[in-house]
């Protein structure tokens, strides 16, 4: 798998603790690898413990520090317990990346209550729960980085994804409001909005649909997980101390 190191981006996260949700595959795995490669101790969170083990093994094989914690991001009690346990065990929590997300795509007239609720609760409620728990620790420490993974679907919408787009737009509102609450405590809150990125999800669309999608991307290609991870790495770094309330698009000019 590519990491942001492949792009030549280096930051100093030595001694810091990062928590990444949805770290078992795809973008979350790339972000976890990138943070670890730059010195952070990474707590990898997802529901699938076996897949998390693969991420942790890859980090450790590269000389990094990581551990896996299985958790349902929708369960407020478990989220609070997890974050408190991490802070107690590690002595700190510096970086939170809210990446966990699912899709339940269908046109709105056919969308069930469950398909709506599943996406909103995982993508938006999950981020709220982790941000709330982490912000308490970061406020006391007067230092922290919260990075929410949104999507261009949250900026411009997408047919068949009213639930997903609403959840990702909600993350942008959460990001901008929370950034105003935490800035005076030296805690930044930003969002990254990827466009079409090479992944298992996009590969299922098929070559014809992907070729059509590329016509609407000025860069004429899909992005890579490493390029999204690089954006996260910058926002997590000391260089981004004065960047907060920002939505950083990584979309090849699609929304430009």
Pairing of strands 187-194, 95-98: unpaired
3-state per-residue secondary structure call for 133-175: HHHHHHHHHCCEEEEEECCCHHHHCCCCCHHHHHHHHHHHHHH
Q: From the CB of residue 165, how many other CB atoms can be counted at a distance below 10 Å?
A: 20
Is 251:229 a contact under the CB 8 Å cutoff? Answer: no
Taking the alpha carbons at both ends of the chain, their separation in whole angstroms is: 28
Q: Which two tokens stand for residue 168?
A: 């990702």
| 164 catalytic residue (yes or no) | yes
In which element (H, E) is residue 79 found?
A: helix 76-90
The residue from 130, 164, 196, 234 that is catalytic is 164
- CA gap 217, 227 in Å, rounded: 15
Catalytic residues: 164
């Amino acid at each position: 798998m590519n990491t942001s190191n492949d792009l030549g981006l280096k930051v100093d996260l030595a001694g810091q603790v990062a928590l990444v949700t949805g770290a078992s595959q795809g973008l979350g795995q790339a972000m976890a690898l990138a943070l670890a490669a730059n010195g952070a101790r990474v707590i990898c969170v997802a529901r699938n413990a076996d897949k998390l083990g693969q991420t942790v093994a890859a980090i450790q094989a590269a000389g990094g520090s990581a551990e896996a914690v299985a958790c349902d991001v929708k369960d407020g009690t478990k989220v609070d317990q997890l974050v408190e346990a991490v802070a107690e065990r590690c002595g700190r929590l510096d970086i939170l990346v809210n990446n966990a997300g699912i899709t339940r795509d269908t046109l709105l007239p056919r969308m069930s209550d469950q398909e709506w609720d599943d996406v909103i609760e995982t993508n938006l409620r999950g981020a709220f729960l982790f941000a709330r728990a982490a912000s308490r620790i970061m406020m006391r420490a007067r230092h922290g980085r919260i990075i929410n993974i949104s999507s261009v679907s949250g900026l411009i919408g997408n047919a068949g994804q009213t639930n997903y787009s609403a959840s990702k737009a909600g993350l942008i509102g959460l990001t901008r409001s929370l950034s105003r609450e935490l800035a005076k405590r030296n805690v930044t809150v930003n969002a990254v909005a990827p466009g079409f990125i090479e992944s298992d999800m996009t590969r299922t669309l098929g070559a014809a649909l992907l070729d059509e999608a590329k016509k609407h991307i000025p860069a004429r290609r899909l992005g890579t997980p490493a390029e999204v991870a690089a954006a996260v790495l910058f926002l997590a770094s000391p260089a981004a101390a004065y960047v907060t309330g920002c939505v950083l698009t990584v979309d090849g000019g699609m929304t430009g």
